[in-house]
Structure 1
């Protein structure tokens, strides 16, 4: 077990929880670009080139006041549901799985560890994403939406809900994330967190956070955790 994960993980490994966007489905850039477009419509000039940097990992509930502050205008109560429908429509047009995700999930299944998804996306949005990317069979009935709960990440509620639904303790869970708000949610939930992140991008300095650079590395980490805890 790596030093970083050992600071939080107590084992045995009873649940793996996946974020959705940027971890399973390559949808984050599309959603961030839609947010940048909405910001420009409101009067805040966020170019598409800065969309991911500006909005990655954030919920619509956080993005709306951010745009309002920078645009100097209120967007109204219908902004969030309107953006949600823009996301769903974009996903129906087509979305790709993150490279290597099916092989990774097959390898995790062979380890015999239960899996769940906990995302800031709505269940409606994830249903479309998973259908389009052939991921639905992996997570049937095991999807949790922080948006639908009304407590988006970086609040830890959605991760705690996933653990509760599985009947396990947070310290027996490992989360796979890619954004800082998501990782903060996992850490505050008391879970070990592995981040899918390029080597040139720094990791947040929080206990229990480990880096992988490609999805194929994740089953190896889980296998090591299983060995240590057995």
Structure 2
């Protein structure tokens, strides 16, 4: 395990830690981002945006586009391309790009390594799950159906920041998911891969697990922990639930 033993903080040192991770708290809901967490679609999407940027005169590599655009809103990405090139982007550029990305995901989307097994293990723990992504509902439908993840995720538990006009890093999307589940944000844990998404979780008052190569930099705040592979996530949840169960017995 790459997660430190202090994943579940002691109550005396946990005043800033969301209740979802505290020994004296309760974990009630797991919220997943989509791209980079369940589906390996971000590189495909940002490569398509890099191609579009080059077509408009911005000599942007796929690697640079991935670094700049990951987790961003299509509207703002179009605005950025317009600023860099000095050109006026088509008024419906974001919708055109959305349609292209959806068609691409219908045939090219792949899961992040270990996604199916991880979701099955989380289900086995009895924890409810929801999805909160800046992707559109149509895009996620294409990704989940083409990868088979739709068999593990109920449609009514998938929430789109784009469709709801609640894009991250605003916390609204995650707060919306928690409200629909009927739980407080402090009882939620979010699995994210981007700084944008992690910031949304922080603003929502939720615990966050960041899926990222441990050699790469990452933000740091109470309630944020890191893993390097999806296979580690169920064990993080098991440790939290076991600690909370033990804490409840002691309190009783």
TM-score (norm 1): 0.95
* Cα distance between partner residues in 2 of 1:127 and 1:87: 12
Which residue number corresponds to residue 8 of structure 1?
17
Report if aligned partners of 2:190, 2:206 keep a CA contact under 8 Å in 1. yes
* Cα distance between partner residues in 1 of 2:144 and 2:50: 24
Which residue number corresponds to residue 3 of structure 2?
none
Q: How does 1:1-230 map onto structure 2 within 5 Å? A: 2=7, 7-10=16-19, 11-140=25-154, 141-230=156-245
* Cα distance between partner residues in 2 of 1:199 and 1:96: 22
Deviation at 1:73, TM superposition (A): 1.6
Deviation at 1:3, TM superposition (A): 6.1
Corresponding residue SS for 1:161: helix
Equivalenced residues, count: 230
Tell me which moved more, 35-44 or 217-226: 35-44
* Cα distance between partner residues in 1 of 2:191 and 2:18: 14
Tell me which moved more, 4-13 or 100-109: 4-13
Note the alpha carbon deviations across 1:47-96, whole angstroms, 9 max, x for none.
12322112111111221221111111221321000010011011012211
Report if aligned partners of 2:8, 2:240 keep a CA contact under 8 Å in 1. no
Q: What is the CA RMSD across the aligned residues, in angstroms? A: 1.5
Deviation at 1:144, TM superposition (A): 0.2
Deviation at 1:4, TM superposition (A): 7.6
Tell me which moved more, 60-69 or 193-202: 60-69
**Structure 1: 5+ residue stretches without partners:** none
**Structure 2: 5+ residue stretches without partners:** 1-5, 20-24, 246-252
Deviation at 1:207, TM superposition (A): 3.0
* Cα distance between partner residues in 1 of 2:104 and 2:117: 26
Report if aligned partners of 1:177, 1:194 keep a CA contact under 8 Å in 2. yes
Corresponding residue SS for 1:152: coil
Report if aligned partners of 1:212, 1:218 keep a CA contact under 8 Å in 2. yes
Report if aligned partners of 1:4, 1:207 keep a CA contact under 8 Å in 2. no
Deviation at 1:217, TM superposition (A): 0.4
Which stretches of structure 1, 4 residues or more, deviate above 3 A after TM superposition? Answer: 3-7
Larger radius of gyration: 2
TM-score (norm 2): 0.87
